[in-house]
Structure 1
Amino acid sequence: MTSATLPAVKSVEPVAVPAARPAVRRPSPWRSRIVRLASVAVAIGLWQFLTTHNVRAWLRFDTLPTVTEIVSNFGKQLGTGTYWLDLAQSLVRILSGFGLAAVVGVAAGIALGRSRWFADILGPLTELARPIPAIALVPVAILLFPSDESGIVFITFAAAFFPIMVSTRHAVRALPTIWEDAVRTLGGGRLDTLVRVIIPGILPGVFSGLSVGIGVAWICVISAEMISGRLGVGYRTWQAYTIVDYPGVFVGMITIGVLGFLTSGAVELLGRRVTRWLPREGLSR
């Protein structure tokens, strides 16, 4: 066979292989924790400096207690039974009202998102009541309930109910209809759709509402305790203000902040555990 009869061999162009993307280096969680602790330490140190030196530059830091005075007062209160009784009373109120709001709010949100009849009958009522601040219901609670304790739990419930209900309703309406169609195609009924599609699908939205609800509930339970309570962290904080015990006021404020931080952190942790099947991106905790 001569070279003239050989078929022409086409030259193959080399295919460019894309370079491998460099691995994304995640920041160390310890570095993040150190930065957060340092920011708190700097704020405390600045507070101590401004109050110790009686700085008055538009803001009157000379009228506020120093950090050492607050810590001293905090130590004294930790050794009393009254402090722990107030702490327990506030926790009972917040857990009762928030727990009830979580159950009723999720159920109402699912019903409003799924049932046209429920949305037509109770939807306008919820939208009319939702803009009313829960703390404005204190006079109603005093008239409606036979005891202050029941009234404070009612106010806490009202504060947490609407964020949970609205977040759940939006989560239900945002679910793709193809999921429900797939279950029904396979022979599933209403209960199967609820258990296999709706509840798992709305969990991220539900826990977003729970996280907001617990914060609003703390604001309102403390305010209600200041107005009509006889025990609780809010009541004790207001009492300290009336007797000009300013270190005691800040002890109450710090206690409220710690309680809110722990309870909201517990809700977030529970949400991450329940929805652990979701992809996690973002900041390291």
Structure 2
Amino acid sequence: MTAVLSAPVTESVAEATPAVRSRNTHVWRSRAIKLASVLVAIGAWQLLTANNVRLWLRFDTLPTVTEILSAFGRQLGTDTYYLDLAQSLIRILTGFGLAALVGVASGIALGRSRLFADILGPLTELARPIPAIAVVPVAILLFPNDEAGIVFITFLAAYFPIMVSTRHAVRALPTLWEDSVRTLGGSRWDVLLRVVLPGSLPGVFGGLSVGIGVSWICVISAEMISGRLGVGYRTWQAYTIVDYPGVFVGIITIGVLGFATSAAVEILGRRVTRWLPRAEENAR
């Protein structure tokens, strides 16, 4: 009896092993291609700048990769670099965190309440097309210090993508789900907690992914215009004193920070929505 039961299990494991190996090979091949593309781009940059190539683009005016790495090493040994890093992270996390809370709450309210949509909807649609960076002069006049103004600009940049994505996700939910909960005696809070919030999570995290990228653009721009600390401020200062390797150190730092925070939002979204059928299919 034991032999009969163990035979199918052994066969299934044997069949699964090639599939696992194939998937692992595909993953490593993908990683190798990504790494190779980055290395090729770095090599091309070094080749063009070191040889002072001037075609349609003037690579002879840009620093080489070795000069940028040297400047990067010098800045990593200073306290100013880490102070700027911490200041930008505090601003982005504060503004984005507030935008996530307010954006999700107002998006759900706009998608669920006709009265709320009539009151707040026209105001959001009028303000949404205005670039957040265009509000910098207003923020300087409105807030008592530059720090609060930069956080406000960051909040504003992330708020609209999060709010719009959440509103669309809530409105796209099938009414059958809500009717099923109400048929079973569920209250409005039950509908909100058991249908609206879980069902809108994919759309919410889509808005969060867009919002974190847009907020980085605006916080760096705001730091360049009115900041006294931060990666954006230091990058613009390097440009004003013709320290071009320092400019690229700032650009690379911004790219790494943006990539890390966006990846964190993506990973969190995948973990929170693991129950989705599509997520299960992709994991296989």
TM-score by length of 1: 0.90
Write 1 or 2 for the structure with the bigger share of helix.
2
Question: Equivalent of 2:141, from 140, 143, 148?
Answer: 143
Partner of 1:259: 257
State the identity as a percent.
82
Q: How far 1:30 moved relative to its partner?
A: 1.0
SS in 2 for 1:219: helix
Structure 2 stretches lacking a partner, 5+ long = 1-18
- Give the Cα separation in 2 of the matches to 1:79 and 1:283: 43
Partner of 2:33: 35
Amino acid in structure 2 at the alignment position of 1:59: L
Question: Equivalent of 2:132, from 134, 148, 171?
Answer: 134
Amino acid in structure 1 at the alignment position of 2:181: V
- Give the Cα separation in 1 of the matches to 2:98 and 2:207: 14
Partner of 2:117: 119
Give CA-to-partner distance per residue, 1:98-128, whole Å, 9 cap, x none. 0000000000000000000000011000000
Give CA-to-partner distance per residue, 1:26-77, whole Å, 9 cap, x none. 4621111110000000000000000000001110000000000000000000
Runs of 4+ in structure 1 over 6 Å off: 281-284
Question: Equivalent of 1:202, from 180, 200, 211?
Answer: 200
- Give the Cα separation in 2 of the matches to 1:77 and 1:281: 44
Question: Equivalent of 1:109, from 83, 102, 107?
Answer: 107
CA spacing shift, 1:62–1:281, aligned 2, 3 Å: farther
Give CA-to-partner distance per residue, 1:139-175, whole Å, 9 cap, x none. 1100000000000000000000000000000000000
Question: Equivalent of 1:232, from 224, 230, 233?
Answer: 230
Q: How far 1:281 moved relative to its partner?
A: 7.3
Partner of 2:3: none
1:173 aligns with 2:171: yes
Partner of 2:219: 221
1:96 aligns with 2:122: no
- Give the Cα separation in 2 of the matches to 1:281 and 1:29: 17
Question: Equivalent of 1:60, from 40, 58, 73?
Answer: 58
- Give the Cα separation in 2 of the matches to 1:281 and 1:215: 27
- Give the Cα separation in 2 of the matches to 1:255 and 1:228: 20
- Give the Cα separation in 2 of the matches to 1:282 and 1:257: 31
- Give the Cα separation in 1 of the matches to 2:210 and 2:265: 10
Amino acid in structure 1 at the alignment position of 2:102: V
- Give the Cα separation in 2 of the matches to 1:283 and 1:70: 39
- Give the Cα separation in 1 of the matches to 2:235 and 2:129: 28
Amino acid in structure 2 at the alignment position of 1:47: W
Question: Equivalent of 1:190, from 172, 188, 191?
Answer: 188
* Bigger mean CA deviation after superposition, 182-191 or 27-36: 27-36
SS in 2 for 1:146: coil
Amino acid in structure 1 at the alignment position of 2:230: G
- Give the Cα separation in 1 of the matches to 2:142 and 2:256: 32
- Give the Cα separation in 2 of the matches to 1:33 and 1:195: 39
Amino acid in structure 2 at the alignment position of 1:262: A
Question: Equivalent of 2:150, from 119, 131, 152?
Answer: 152
Partner of 2:9: none
- Give yes or no for contact 2:139–2:153 (8 Å, CA) kept in 1: yes
Amino acid in structure 2 at the alignment position of 1:235: Y
- Give the Cα separation in 1 of the matches to 2:279 and 2:68: 40
- Give the Cα separation in 2 of the matches to 1:224 and 1:162: 18
Structure 1 stretches lacking a partner, 5+ long = 1-22
Amino acid in structure 2 at the alignment position of 1:256: I
Q: Which structure has the larger Rg?
A: 1
